[in-house]
Chains A and B, each alone.
Chain A
Amino acid sequence: MYRRILAAVNEYSNSELAARYAISLAHACQAKLTLIFVAAQGMDLTLIRQAEAALERLFLEAAAKNLEVESIIKRGEALPHISAVVRENEIDLAFSATRHEDVSRRYFTRTVARKLMLNLPCSVALVRVVHPGQLFPQNILVPFRGRPPHLEEKAFFVGKLAEAFSAAVTLFHAPEPISRFFADLRRGKPPAPEKHIPHEIDRFLNYLEKFRISPQHRLGLGPAGRAITLEAALQRHDLIIMGASERGLWESLISRDPVEEVLRETPCNLIILLPRLKRP
């Protein structure tokens, strides 16, 4: 499914760590890897050298795994250059990193990560590394919500990444109850979450079975973002793979956006996948 994977690298250590996930996935998919660094106009020379050094380290790491790898350095604005490379090289999936500074903004607006996510003409995996000491996941948490788009691609991504690290996978579903605002007035038992398991989960499981993965199932209750964070902390997951939010800005303002919440408070490393792949 993924024949060409791109990893955007910059002067931050986070991007190098994120690119290591790209190397592992490319290795598992036998995909060609493109590493790219776009130096902004007027960027400090020390920072450029730092990013170049990261690019070199990653290149050597990928080459050591016998991957077909190329590295590109450009000067200018990140989005147009990366978009052009994605089009020219027919990239299927691009990895980009986000960091604390980005997620402290609401909906990480005006960040390169968001621009790439919204505008690249390929699938995008946005990586947030909070635990550099646990880059090799052993226990991946995959939150599942009703009717996710590009189900097959998401299953492929999860399956291949789990395969790359020989990691166990846990599917997690947390139906969101009605507002607890009038908690004092409400009485009775909490709703049974089993009733709310989406049917699409069976299709997702079928896809995962192709990778000989039989995930654990777990159910949570409560606001999705909170439930996911708690589950990851409680079960000591070392990676969360979530689908990107499809909520618009207004919808996110009115009701909470679980993706944004998890992005902000994740207790372990996190990948947010926006699947856009057209071909199987």
Chain B
Amino acid sequence: MNIHALSRQEVLKALMTSEAGLSQAEARSRLKEYGLNQITEARKTPLYFRFLKQFTHFLAVLLWLAAVLCFVSEYLRPGEGLLSLGLAIVGVIIINAVFTFIQEYRAERALAALKALLPFNVKVVREGRQREIPAREVVPGDLFLLEAGDKVPADGRLIEANRLMVNNAPLTGESEPKPRVADPFAGGYLESPNLVFAGTLAVSGSGLAVASATGMATEFGKIAHLTSGVEPDLSPLQKEIFRVTRIVAAIAVTLGILFFTLGFFIGRSFWHNFLFAIGIIIANVPEGLLPTVTLSLAIGSQRMASRKALIKNLNSVETLGSVTVICSDKTGTLTENRMELRRIWVPEAQAEEGEYARTMLLTVAGLCNNAKFVEGAFLGDPTEVALLRAAREHGGIRGERLQEIPFDPERKLMTTVDRVGGETLVLTKGALESVLPLCQLVAAGSQSVPLDDRQQKNIQAAYQDLMDEGLRVMAFAFKKLAASSAEHAETEKDAEDLEKGLIFTGLAGLEDPPRPEVAEAIHRCREAGIRVIMITGDAGRTAVAVARQVGLTESEPLVIQGPELVKMSDEELKQRLATKNIIFARMTPRLKMRIVSVLKEAGERIAVTGDGVNDAPALKRADIGIAMGVTGTDVAREAADMVLLDDNFATIVNAIEEGRAVFENIRKFISYIFASNIPEIVPYIAYVLFSIPLPLTIMQILAVDLGTDLFPALGLGAEKPAPRIMKQPPRGPEEKLLNFGILARAYLFLGPIEAAAGLFGFFYVLHLGGWQWGEMLPGSAPLYLQATTACLAGIIVTQIANVFACRSFSESVFSLGMFSNRLILFGIASEILIGSFIVYHPWGQRIFGTAPLAAHVWLMLAPFAVALLLAEETRKLVARRWLTAARGS
């Protein structure tokens, strides 16, 4: 038989321990046998493997191909500078991989640090003595003590239980505390009331248990294993980058093949055409895209961290921006996770008489209570803590407990006999339906009046009022024991006798108050087109009341309770989920997982909050799993993509705002980077079609893509969220990162202006140098070097204007403020510095094949920058007017 079915002595024998506990030596030996009592990070991909994965995603593979082409070309035609180019591309891949890896590793470490903040000690009995040891040193066979407020350190079999109640919510999601006993149980292992499970919480009473499993062998550990079994999907950004790189690859290869074929028909040699095709491909591949995306996500994650949201995976930053539904817990996320006495109702009475009833109610609340106030802190069941706090604030009546009939979930009652100021009182608290039938009188001043129908109706009406406010209602009653009975009060009396003929004294309404900032956050969600669905383990009425208080629902919401959902088919659930105001109450983590799955199937992008270990699979299943940093379990934090450092719902909304901004910013710099592809491609086409010297070398293309463009693009990646960003609906799944509009703007509008600038510079310098059409110049000729440098300068100058143009797709740069993003100014300064190095420094000249330019060449190029900015401002003006007209119609 397994331990739950054994007697006390058999349990000790089976687990090879004794009433005195293990010896220290045996405990040390068992620590070697079973290992530390801790949840290890289940099945983590090895670090080296995760690092290697940074080299194998699609864009990296594309860059590897480009590098290989360069090395092949260098081998076949040495001296063309392709070796340096190949090495530079490999460098980009490595730098990006290292950077991404470090970012994600740092987030992981931050999480580990958070975990380290939460060690806890446990009281064990070893060698007959009580000792306090770190929970991770508990071994099977250890006897551990549990008191109210203690976290259970390991799975254990109780051998003593004194009114012990445990909250299994972290494991099962049920928020109601469960009573535990020490008697053998003949049923199933998990249902056994004599077992306590690691990670759960003792809320009242005390007990002594023998550890039967530790670490990953506990039920908690088993769920930790499961989290590694849910394979996360690719994030929307990963899918989009995948798509963009495929488009880019297709364009590059098509153009490469096209011009290779064209060159063949024109009569150029194979090697000439081959090198040219490689040049075209390299010009099309946005080498700077990968590091810029990574850095932009990193900036987003840093900004989120400063707003109390820790992002574990960089790609999750953008996923947040596409969230359409937030499935939120109630307790701790929307509310403050502490009970508070909000209202007291006493029967109809005169003012001073009412005061007596109120005092008696608080006497019952304070004395018929197992919560404790120790060293400035309240310990115990949250409801009892709230009652004790209220009683203490009222003056803290003292009494001596003589007897207790513990709270029984079946009876929904608790009764104590206390000696208070020379009187012996029977004090009872519990559910109204249990307390009221025990009462014969109602407190009315220092006298009591019979509990008649009218009084009953009044009490029921008051009860309904309190319930409608979403309060948890408790009823209170008492009676004085006659002197003769009081003499025997210390002996056990039957509950029936004690609880007969009580005086009803009133009702108390308790609540977990909503967080003050939540209402505003929900309003922002509504404006941003994001649905918020409350999924709670609590009762429907409480959930509705909280929903009303935080503005989650205005009309009567549809409330689906757990048992109802169990009977519902997925199709029915899908239909119900279409209801605007919907609340899920009395939910278990398993049902929560089902709701998440159905929402995902319906095409929603879901953020799910969770704190319990059983929430972990749902957190993994969601597009964004959000764990609570303060109250969450390690397993939940491990499974989540984002950890809220303050457990606050408003932080989720702030993070979504940042996520949306990141998507917008990625679009902005894609537009910026892609615009420079055209002035890189056009010179090649001109070179083939018009038999002119090549206006821009491959190394110069790389100087733009990985040099001058990089920092301004990063500046675009750091743009702050625009105010309107949370006033528009979430982007739909059909809305792509790279769409025709963005591509057309870059390739057909901005790109040609930049190409014109580059070619103008090239021909301007050639013309000044006396070049004649059709004349081919050697690659080392000063005039040729100067002309290609002028082409490069044309691109740099117009890209400076372009970075301002790309700050918004529709707003004028002048309305945004030229200096509102300092990183862009820093980016432009870097661009000028890098450009100057390439053009004027001997090293730059040697590497990139450039020659110094005279000032008048720059001056000749400047109007192109102005023209680009003006053209873009005109386009934006037209776009704005068109949008306004479209909205008006």
Contacts and interface: CB of A to CB of B under 8 A. Distances in A.
- Answer whether A and B are interacting partners: yes
Interface in B213-241: 213, 216-217, 221-223, 225-226, 228-229, 234, 238
A229 B226 CA distance: 9
B141 A185 contact: no
A12 B30 CA distance: 7
A91 B578 CA distance: 68
B2 A132 contact: no
Interface in A14-72: 14, 16-17, 46, 50
Contact of A131 (B25, B33, B217, B226): B217
B739 interface: no
Interface of B: 1-4, 14-16, 25-26, 29-30, 32-35, 42-43, 52-53, 56-58, 61, 140-141, 155, 157, 189-190, 212-213, 216-217, 221-223, 225-226, 228-229, 234, 238, 242
Given A184-B238, A185-B61, A230-B228, A99 B213 contact: no
A130 B225 CA distance: 15
A2 B206 CA distance: 49
A226 B43 contact: yes
A13 B32 contact: no
A2 to B, nearest CB: 24
Given A100-B35, A136-B2, A265 B43 contact: yes
A131 B29 contact: no
**Considering residues A11, A101, A133, which has the most beta carbons from chain B within 10 angstroms of its beta carbon?**
A133
A133 B212 contact: yes
A53 to B, nearest CB: 10
A273 interface: no
A250 interface: no
A1 interface: no
A99 B32 contact: yes
A101 B221 contact: no
B244 to A, nearest CB: 14
A184 B217 contact: no
29 contacts: A16-B16, A46-B25, A50-B26, A101-B32, A101-B33, A130-B217, A132-B141, A132-B212, A132-B213, A133-B2, A134-B189, A136-B2, A181-B52, A182-B56, A184-B56, A184-B58, A184-B234, A226-B228, A226-B229, A229-B43, A229-B225, A230-B225, A230-B228, A230-B229, A233-B225, A234-B226, A265-B43, A266-B217, A267-B217
Nearest to B34: A100
Interface of A: 11-14, 16-17, 46, 50, 99-101, 104, 130-136, 138, 181-182, 184-185, 226, 229-230, 233-234, 236, 265-268
Contacts of A101: 32-33
B228 A132 contact: no
A266 B43 CA distance: 12
B37 to A, nearest CB: 11
B216 A267 contact: yes
Contacts of B217: 130-131, 266-268
B726 to A, nearest CB: 31
Nearest to B36: A100
A229 B157 CA distance: 25
Given A132-B16, A226-B43, A234-B229, 12 more contacts: A13-B30, A46-B25, A50-B26, A130-B34, A131-B140, A133-B157, A134-B212, A136-B2, A138-B189, A181-B52, A233-B223, A236-B190
Contacts of B140: 13, 131-133
Contacts of A229: 43, 225
Nearest to A98: B33
A222 to B, nearest CB: 8
A24 to B, nearest CB: 12
Contacts of A185: 56, 58, 61
B213 A131 contact: yes
Contact of A265 (B16, B42, B234): B42
B158 to A, nearest CB: 12
Contacts of B223: 233
A158 B458 CA distance: 68
Given A229-B225, A267-B216, A132 B189 contact: no
Contacts of B57: 184
A132 to B, nearest CB: 5
Contacts of B29: 11-13
Contacts of A265: 42-43, 216, 225
Given A100-B32, A236-B222, A132 B56 contact: no
B33 A13 contact: yes
B33 A14 contact: yes
When A and B form their complex, which 7 residue pairs have the shortest distance between CB atoms, in order from nearest?
A133-B212, A100-B35, A233-B225, A130-B217, A99-B33, A233-B222, A133-B3
A135 B6 CA distance: 13
B12 to A, nearest CB: 12
A226 B228 CA distance: 9
Contacts of A233: 222-223, 225-226
B242 A184 contact: yes
Nearest to A223: B43
Contacts of A46: 25
Contacts of A135: 2, 14
Contacts of B222: 233, 236, 267
B217 to A, nearest CB: 4
B545 to A, nearest CB: 37
A218 B454 CA distance: 64
Contacts of B33: 12-14, 99-101
A16 B221 CA distance: 24
Contacts of B25: 46
A118 to B, nearest CB: 22
Nearest to B224: A233
Contacts of A130: 34, 213, 216-217
B226 A230 contact: yes
A133 B238 contact: no
Contacts of B242: 184
A184 B53 CA distance: 9
Contacts of B30: 13
B155 to A, nearest CB: 7
A32 B407 CA distance: 54
Nearest to B33: A99
Given A13-B29, A14-B33, A100-B33, A132 B226 contact: no
A132 B216 contact: no
A36 to B, nearest CB: 19
B228 A13 contact: no
Nearest to A268: B217
Contacts of B42: 265
Contacts of B61: 185
A232 to B, nearest CB: 8
A17 B58 CA distance: 52
B53 A181 contact: yes
Contacts of B141: 13, 132
A133 B15 contact: yes
A136 B5 CA distance: 11
A233 B58 CA distance: 35
Contacts of A182: 56
A226 B14 CA distance: 30
Nearest to A101: B32
Contacts of A12: 29, 32-33
Nearest to A130: B217
Contacts of A181: 52-53, 56
A16 B222 CA distance: 25
B150 to A, nearest CB: 20
A50 B23 CA distance: 12
Contacts of B35: 100, 104
A192 to B, nearest CB: 16
A182 B35 CA distance: 35
Contacts of A16: 16
A112 to B, nearest CB: 14
Contacts of B157: 133
